[in-house]
Each structure stands twice: as C-alpha cells, then as structure tokens.
Amino acid sequence: MMRWVKCAAVLITVLFLSACMGHAKPEYEKKLFDTSCVHTVDVKIAEADWQDLITHPEEKTKYEADLVIDGEEVKQVSFSAKGNSSLALVKSRGDSIRYSLKINFGKNIKGQTFHGLDKLHLQNIFGDKTYMKEYLAYDLFRKMGVPAPLASFVFITINGNDFGLYMAVEDLDDSFLDRTCRGNGSLYQPELSEQALDDEKAEAILAGGNVIVSGARGADLKYIDDNPDSYPDIFDNAVTKRSEESDQRVIAALRKLQEGKDLKSILVTKELARYFAVNNYLMNYDTYIGLMTHNYYLYENSGKLSVFPWDYNLAFGAFSMDAVLTHANDTREVINMGIDSPLLSIPPEERPLWSRYIADETCRKEYHAAMDQFLKEQIESGAFEKEVDRVYTMIRPYIENDPTKLCTLQDTDEAHEILKQICLLRAESIRRQLNRSLASETKLQNPADRVDPAGADVQDLRY
C-alpha cells in the first residue's frame, strides 16, 4: 500500500483486520496489483473469436484465450465481454470497441489461478476523462478499512496489437473473501432484474438525461415476505453457495431493518459508517442510494449485513443523483449535497438500508465521526491530492499512446486538475456540514452558506 498513509489510518486498518493478523498477502496482490507501475496483459485469442466478441458483446460469450501477464503465460483462460450500462453505452456510440472484459482463470483448467486470483475484471474506464476515478475510490475505501477490491493499471494488447490502458480489478469471489478474511459468510451482488439499458435509454444518458428505474425485487433491500423466491435480485445473484439457512438469515435481517429496531444486531454499523462516509464523499449515485439499486455487494455473516463497494467509474458527481432529474448534474448541487440526505426525492422507504441507518442516532454519530476521520486523514492532510498526482504522472504516457481512448490527452490533463479542485470543494462543504455552518440535509441548506464551485464543472470529468 502507499507509504505516505498516515499512521492513524494504518492503525485503524490493522484493528479492523485483526482477524487477519498473520494472514500473508496473496501472491497476486504483490504481482498484478502492485500499484507502483503499469502492468501488461497480452491477449492471444482466435481472430474469429475476437471479431465475434466485438460484434456481439452483449451476448457475453465465453471464449478461450491465452494471456501473458507481465511476461508470465497463463493458458486457456475464459475471456468475455462484460458490463451492463457501460457495455450498452459503448455499443451505442457506434465508433468504439472499448468494452470491459472478464477473465476466469480456472473455468477451462480446473483449479488454475493467477497466483491465487480466481477471476479478473479489465475495466474500460468508460465515461472517465481522468482514467483514475475508480482506482482512487477503491484506494480510499481500503484506507478507511472497508473491504474493497484491489486495482491497478494495465496496458492491453490483443494478438500483438495495442488495445488500450485499462484498469485491472480483483473479482469479489473466493480469492477476495480469503484475502479479506470473510470466507465464513455469504456474498451476493444484488442487481435490479429489469434495468438493462436499451439503445434509447443509453442515448438519453449520453445526452445528459436520466432513466427512472423501479420494481426492485430485493436489490433495494426492502422486506417483502419470508419466501426467498420473492428476492431474485439478491439470491439469483449469490456469489457464494446458497443454503436455506443463509437465505433465511438475510431475510430475517431485512425484516428487522424494515422495523428499524436494534440495528446493531443486524448491521456491522461501524463498517457501514465508513462505507457511507467514503461513498457519499465520492458523490457516487450509480449505486444503492441512487436511482438504480446496483453496483454494490451484500455480505452476510451470522445474521449481520455489510456492504462492499463496486463500480465507481461514474463517481465524483458524474452520474445524475436523482431519479426525477432530467438534466445533467449541477456542480453547486453536487459538491454541496447534504451528507445526511443523498436520496433527494427517492422516498426513504425505497432505500431502507440508508434511511433506517441514518435515522438511528447512534449510527448517525458513527457516520459523522467516520466522515470527520476520512476528511482529516485522506483529504485535508493532502494525501489524496498527492496520490492523484502520482498516479496521473505514471499513467499519462500510456493514455497518450492509447489507441482506443475516447477523449484527447488535453482532456485528461484538464480533468486531472479539475478532479483535485472538485474533491477539495466537496471536502470544504462536508466540513461546513459537520461544523453545522451548513445544513447536512440539502433541502434545509441556506444557499448563501454553500461552497461556491468557482467555475469547476463535474461534467468536465466525463465524456
């Protein structure tokens, strides 16, 4: 991890991961997820298969390919396109084949891993002029003791031809659970069943509009009844092996969550405080608290629920934050979003994990304390800005030579500076909210008390 991390942050992480004391880092963390360099992934795939993949990415057909990762060969992996909205948005452009990709090391050769890593995501960094937002998000979560995937940068070639600078992301599967000492629980990736984007919706989003999505069957974490079949958004997306007992533990927790009583018996509240603190600082609305209840993992252990972060390319205010907005995000609104009211007009009962949590006085205090700690250690200390500059200096030459990039090098240079400005402005607004010189609920804020964006525009961070 980065050497400049403050001692206090290291101590928190050590205490949080006390169950892992003596648990050695997996080899893949030291190799592929060494963040001090840009790695190389050379893909060798039958030309006909590659052409089929880029022609029909939505089918997510699994092809066989050989890889060379930093000079080390891995044979007969499963190789496919991946994604939902990002896949649809890339395809709708008509001028790009820059799809996100997924690798399963052991599908074709039983037991094969890459130094212990089961699966790997190669993210296309879609919609992010900085190339860094998702990488930075996961780094901040981990520094706050929230289990988050490892990430690094890789330059991909396909059959010897340069393809582009991507981000390698650890899959949240068995290897992740082992690394984070969470192997005794159950893991799910809730996904709204009917939210797949068609071309019309994709074009609306690209034009700065929005899509209202409703009808969740479990992904919103609302209690329905005691029948597991009523929660396909959760249980059909189980990562670990399901059992009747684990299903009922999750349902029982959702029932108690709906009641809003004794939350500490069903939620890992201090970890959830850190998760919400980082997520809400990052202005990420393409997740549970946004209009589409996806892009998060739900973890259950002994009847207690936790949330792990996933998919942050549209963080830092790039995704419309309200289901009723039909315009692009306004920077003043985004950086001053009340830390206690990220739902805006989404009814609180539609997001019980957040609404019940923040309504509990003890939980709210934990959340505010976590936000205060986060600002002090990561933002106000200058640590985050230093990391942004370090990473951008490292990846800039690869961006310059990226043949599939969707913006110019000048765009990324400008976005790099705007990102730092936006993050400092957001931190200033949150500090005012914590100090009560600005209301922590958006609707109660006095416009005169808000932080002025001073010309910064969150829309300049995306394309």
pLDDT tens digit string along 228-248?
Answer: 999 999 999 999 999 999 999
> What's the mean pLDDT in 380-398?
98
**pLDDT for position 44:** 98
**Average pLDDT for the chain:** 90
pTM of the complete model: 0.91
pLDDT interval class at 134 (50, 70, 90): very high
- Domain positions in the chain are 26-124+148-179, 186-463
Confidence of residue 292 (pLDDT cuts 50, 70, 90): confident
**Predicted confidence band of residue 9 (pLDDT cuts 50, 70, 90):** very low
- What pLDDT score was predicted for residue 199? 54
> d(Cα 252, Cα 248) in Å, to the nearest integer?
6
What is the C-alpha to C-alpha distance for residues 459 and 17, in angstroms, rounded to an integer?
Answer: 37
Is the separation of the CB atoms in 242 and 234 below 8 Å?
Answer: no
Confidence of residue 299 (pLDDT cuts 50, 70, 90): very high
pLDDT of residue 215: 58
Question: For residue 82, with 0-12 CB atoms within 10 Å meaning exposed, 13-18 middle and 19 or more buried, which class applies?
Answer: middle
Cα gap 280→338, rounded to integer Å: 9
- Directed axis angle between helix 133-143 and helix 269-281, to 10°? 150
* Structure confidence at residue 121 as a pLDDT band (50, 70, 90): very high
Query: In 3D, which of 276, 270, 300 has the Cα closest to residue 288?
Result: 276
Position 427 pLDDT exceeds 50? yes
- Asked whether residue 203 carries a pLDDT value surpassing 80, the answer given is no
- Given pLDDT bands bounded at 50, 70 and 90, which one contains residue 13? very low
Q: What are the backbone angles phi and psi of residue 305, rounded to the nearest 5°?
A: -105, 140
pLDDT surpassing 60 at residue 51: yes
Q: Which residue has the higher pLDDT, 462 or 452?
A: 452
Lowest mean pLDDT among 104-108, 158-162, 203-207: 203-207
- What is the DSSP secondary-structure string of 59-96? G---EEEEEEETTEEEEEEEEEEE-SHHHHHHHHHSS-
